[in-house]
Amino acid sequence: MKITDIKFAKLSVPLRTPFKTALRRVDSIEDVIVMVETDSGAIGYGEAPATAVITGDTHESIIGAITTTMKPKLIGRSIEDLNDLIHIIQNAIVNNSSAKAALEIAIYDLFAQHYKAPLYKILGGGEPTISTDITISVDYIDKMVQDSINAVEQGFETLKIKVGKDIGVDIERVKAIYAAVEGKALLRLDANQGWTAKEAVFALSKLENAGVQLELVEQPVKGYDLEGMKYVTERVHTPVMADESTFGPKEALQLIQMRAADIINIKLMKTGGISNALKIADIAELHNIPCMIGCMLETSISVCAAVHLAVARSHIITKVDLDGPSLCTHDPVTGGVKFNGPDITIADKPGLGIEQISGLTPIEG
């Protein structure tokens, strides 16, 4: 099976409600879909969102990086040479992690298809069902409380609460939500880099003293502020999880050695794909640091790949935040993974198991 072409398309899927964080508001998922074609007729699918404020990637840069630096080196290569293909992708250009992730996902999809097995079995096996949390966007307190109650009624047992806009209001938001769902759901806070280190310690101490029990707080300070992460981790009881503070294996190792976080959030769009995500999981396991598998605003194409990874490394990836497709008005993908409330199940089909994607608009690459 040899690569014959790499094509692109745009996929737009509206969200049920606006996605609001301390950094941005989004009303629909607008992603680039990468399709790697082969001489056998098999197609591998990948996906990447534009997250300029997080990874620095835009739709144009994703397509440009693949078209100009990666595609020429991959055409004609055999899918069986997985390690060489990954080496080409990772070393063709610096940064551009989302472009690399989309292309890697498609390559891994084809590799597993070639061996006629679901990707998670190629990566090591596991139970093909996991459960995710669901995001409660930043909003008025009453709206966030009602959204939380609705999520619990839909079967979600873990809620990720977006905070980081106004620390005083943030504290009241969390206290109100905790009172409404106590004993029914676990709470995770995601500050999206919205606090300073001292603000984070102040807010978390206030919540802890008020009896609010949190499973974790995600990225309370700026991603580059590792000393700030360490400051918070040392001063609160709530476990601190790094997101934007760690993109690849080297950063993960540095974070662990500094004891600057208790948990690491792995996202394929940050790591540049599955290969580095596997390395981070293995490094974390060596140091007994649990991981979460997360996603940007992505559809069930790239989220499918993240599910396969989480299943194959479930002994260290113990927390799941893959609710992107659940926030959409519909799932444009046939096959792949099935969402049923918080439960995500992998189809027993080769590769990612994606059969069809509706609503694709071709893009010239």
Q: Any idea what the CATH number is for the domain that residue 279 is in?
A: 3.20.20.120
Active centre residues (catalytic): 162, 267
State how many domains the chain has: 2
* pLDDT at residue number 365: 65
How far apart are the C-alpha atoms of 153 and 88, rounded to whole Å? Answer: 47
Asked whether residue 41 falls in the same domain as residue 143, the answer is no
pTM of the model: 0.95
Asked whether residue 9 falls in the same domain as residue 82, the answer is yes
Secondary structure (3-state) at 193:
coil
* pLDDT at residue number 23: 66
365 residues of the chain, pLDDT tens digit each: 999 999 999 999 999 887 777 666 888 899 999 999 999 999 999 999 998 878 889 999 999 999 999 999 999 999 999 999 999 999 999 999 999 999 999 999 999 999 999 999 999 999 999 999 999 999 999 999 999 999 999 999 999 999 988 899 999 999 999 999 999 999 999 999 999 999 999 999 999 999 999 999 999 999 999 999 999 999 999 999 999 999 999 999 999 999 999 999 999 999 999 999 999 999 999 999 999 999 999 999 999 999 999 999 999 999 999 998 988 899 999 999 999 999 999 999 999 999 999 999 999 86
* pLDDT at residue number 18: 76
Asked whether residue 35 falls in the same domain as residue 160, the answer is no
Rg (CA), the chain: 20
Asked whether residue 125 falls in the same domain as residue 251, the answer is yes
Q: Which domain holds residue 319?
A: 121-354
Asked whether residue 249 falls in the same domain as residue 203, the answer is yes
Give the start-end residues of each E strand in 155-201. 158-162, 186-190
Asked whether residue 7 falls in the same domain as residue 104, the answer is yes
- Tell how strand 317-321 and strand 291-294 pair up: parallel
* pLDDT at residue number 140: 92
How far apart are the C-alpha atoms of 151 and 158, rounded to whole Å? Answer: 9
Q: Any idea what the CATH number is for the domain that residue 18 is in?
A: 3.30.390.10
Asked whether residue 110 falls in the same domain as residue 131, the answer is no
Asked whether residue 227 falls in the same domain as residue 88, the answer is no
* pLDDT at residue number 130: 97
Asked whether residue 318 falls in the same domain as residue 285, the answer is yes
Q: Could you tell me which residues are annotated as the binding site for substrate?
A: 24, 135, 160, 295, 297, 321, 323
How far apart are the C-alpha atoms of 195 and 215, rounded to whole Å? Answer: 18
Asked whether residue 8 falls in the same domain as residue 69, the answer is yes
Closest of 272, 284, 349 to residue 55, by C-alpha: 272
Closest of 257, 302, 312, 260 to residue 282, by C-alpha: 312
How far apart are the C-alpha atoms of 52 and 57, rounded to whole Å? Answer: 5
Q: Could you tell me which residues are annotated as the binding site for Mg(2+)?
A: 190, 218, 243
322 burial type by CB count under 10 A (0-12 exposed, 13-18 middle, 19+ buried): buried
Closest of 341, 359, 362 to residue 14, by C-alpha: 359
